[in-house]
Amino acid sequence: MVSLDRRSFLATTGGVLASGAALNTLGAHAAWAAAGRSPSDPGEVGYGELRRTAARNTGEELLALPAGFSYVVLGRTGTPMDDGTLTPIAHDGMAAFRGTRRHTARLIRNHEVRTPPGSPVGRVHVPGSARYDELGVAGTTTLEVDLRSGEVTRHFVSLNGTIVNCAGGRMLGDRGWLTCEETTAGPAQGWQRKHGYIFEVPLDGPGPGSPAASMPLTAMGRFSHEAVAVDPRTGYVYETEDDSGKPDGFYRYRPRNPWKLSDGGVLEMLKIRGQDGYDCREGQRMGARLPVEWVRIDDPDPDLENGAPTCTQQGLAKGGAKFNRLEGCWWGDGSVFFNSTSGGDAKNGDPPNADGFVEGYGQVWQYIPGRRDGGTLVLVYESPGRKALDSPDNLTFTPRGGIVLCEDDSSDADADPHPLAPGLTNVNRLIGLDPRRGEPFEFAVNISDDSEFAGACFSPDGSVLFVNNLGSTAATDPPGRTYAIRGPWRRGPL
């Protein structure tokens, strides 16, 4: 195992980076999968066998974890916050920043609320605040957490007036969070305003009762956004798209001013050089290096209500590459790593998409920016089946060179039970990747319900793994929860 010393670790953006060790982990994992190996006995990899574990602060058995690890529940749906509102539903993408005081972390957390316009059920809402859409039901909340006690010291709405806030990414210079709407709904669906945008949530400024003004960054595109990653050298923002059942694109935004994204810029879609409409969803070889060029999206804020072509249609018409359900996105080691939740040749059994593509168990891609050309695209891992990895969503690289993938078991056809979660049909896990052996292993199992894991991120000091249990996106049951997991990280590969 390769580890970073504390000084190197804390010097990186947000305290966590994708080091060469993490890149080596993906390479080892690809070699493991390409060799057609079966997973070893769970006691031989990772941190050993898992066991049902009760939360330290509630006594509920919600997760299965390896021996020596413990957790507390933070920000459960329905619990009161400091601004007088109740914690919303649908806990999704998230990032951890340094807190306002020593030994604290500040979490900015998305809420992918999918209730109707203006619905009060689990809504992210502060009356009288500056909201983009008065009927918006989603947004973000912020938590200040004491890393020693695990207690929440402050908890409040930090952005409202948006809808379906799925994932996002850290702003340049760790100045805050870019939150993404995973939809292109608008007035035709009952909302006051058009949606499908990225919004800024500054780290400093918002406090209890004073959410940030929600202003859409329209030049960054109107499409079904999932996550973003920022190149700290150029300020370019890379964006993933997740429009289920249709081909998706991988985008980059070249801002005029990297420190002020609202000043405008150029939106582009990735294309494989010299090959129109290249299909990355299947038939790919791990490790192959595909040369990249970029095609411009001429109308990044299309008037979809009056029949304008979508950003995806514009990019594909110019030869853009096709992906399937692009989700988690992470910058590190001079590259962007992103997940295709349902790409790959091993199929999950669901009916074909509208264009005939049959979904797989997931892919992990690496985009390497070029200094003199459009860069290079590499498939670094493709799941051979659900036991190894089933539908990767969010991902994070750990301070010690490991990788954590959040599962979102999206298949309706392939039941995925687990012996530690009796009664559940589709069980979701946190999958770790071992940098020494390249083998995937279970680090955590959601034994409370069948909702996905999301938003995995480490505290700035590397001591705590925060992760969300989504819960329902349209009801208060099952509730969304945030977990803070502690344990002997250096005993294993994470």
Q: What integer pLDDT is reported at residue 215 of this predicted model?
A: 97
Cα 71 to Cα 16, 63, 64, 474, distances in angstroms? 20, 9, 10, 26
Domains of the chain: 6-491 (2.120.10.30)
pLDDT digits (tens, 9 = 90+) for 110-140: 999 999 999 999 999 999 999 999 999 999 9
Q: What integer pLDDT is reported at residue 224 of this predicted model?
A: 98
Percent of the chain past pLDDT 70, that is, above it, reads: 92
pLDDT category at 449 given cuts 50, 70, 90 is: very high
pLDDT category at 21 given cuts 50, 70, 90 is: low
* Whole-number average pLDDT of the chain: 91
As a whole number, mean pLDDT of residues 476-483 equals: 98
Q: What integer pLDDT is reported at residue 417 of this predicted model?
A: 87
As a whole number, mean pLDDT of residues 431-435 equals: 82
Residue 211 near residue 125 (C-beta atoms within 8 A): no
Residue 48 near residue 27 (C-beta atoms within 8 A): no
Q: Kindly report whether the peptide bond that precedes residue 440 is cis, defined as omega within 30 degrees of 0.
A: no
Task: Measure CA 366 to chain center.
Answer: 15
Give me 68's structure tokens.
């020596």
pLDDT category at 434 given cuts 50, 70, 90 is: confident
pLDDT at 411 over 70: no
Closest CA to 382 of 32, 63, 116, 118: 32
pLDDT digits (tens, 9 = 90+) for 338-388: 999 999 999 998 899 999 999 999 999 999 999 889 999 999 889 998 888
pLDDT category at 18 given cuts 50, 70, 90 is: very low
pLDDT category at 176 given cuts 50, 70, 90 is: very high
Cα 398 to Cα 63, 256, 404, distances in angstroms? 20, 32, 7
pLDDT category at 153 given cuts 50, 70, 90 is: very high
List Cβ neighbours of 270 (8 Å cut-off, separation of 6 or more). Answer: 249, 250, 251, 252, 292, 294, 320, 321, 367, 377
pLDDT category at 22 given cuts 50, 70, 90 is: low
As a whole number, mean pLDDT of residues 258-275 equals: 98
Q: In the Cβ-directed half-sphere of 324, how many Cα atoms lie within 13 Å?
A: 27
As a whole number, mean pLDDT of residues 5-27 equals: 48
pLDDT at 249 over 80: yes
pLDDT digits (tens, 9 = 90+) for 58-106: 999 999 999 999 999 999 999 999 999 999 999 999 999 999 888 999 9
Q: What integer pLDDT is reported at residue 99 of this predicted model?
A: 93
pLDDT at 160 over 90: yes
pLDDT digits (tens, 9 = 90+) for 270-329: 999 999 999 999 999 998 999 999 999 999 999 999 999 999 999 999 999 999 999 999
- Which one is predicted more confidently, 416 or 123? 123
Adjacency order of strands within the sheet including 198-202 = 165-170, 176-181, 198-202
Q: What integer pLDDT is reported at residue 17 of this predicted model?
A: 43
Report pTM.
0.94
Q: What integer pLDDT is reported at residue 226 of this predicted model?
A: 97
Q: Return d(Cα 489, Cα 13) in angstroms, integer.
A: 20
Closest CA to 175 of 329, 13, 399: 13
Q: What integer pLDDT is reported at residue 386 of this predicted model?
A: 85
Q: What integer pLDDT is reported at residue 158 of this predicted model?
A: 98
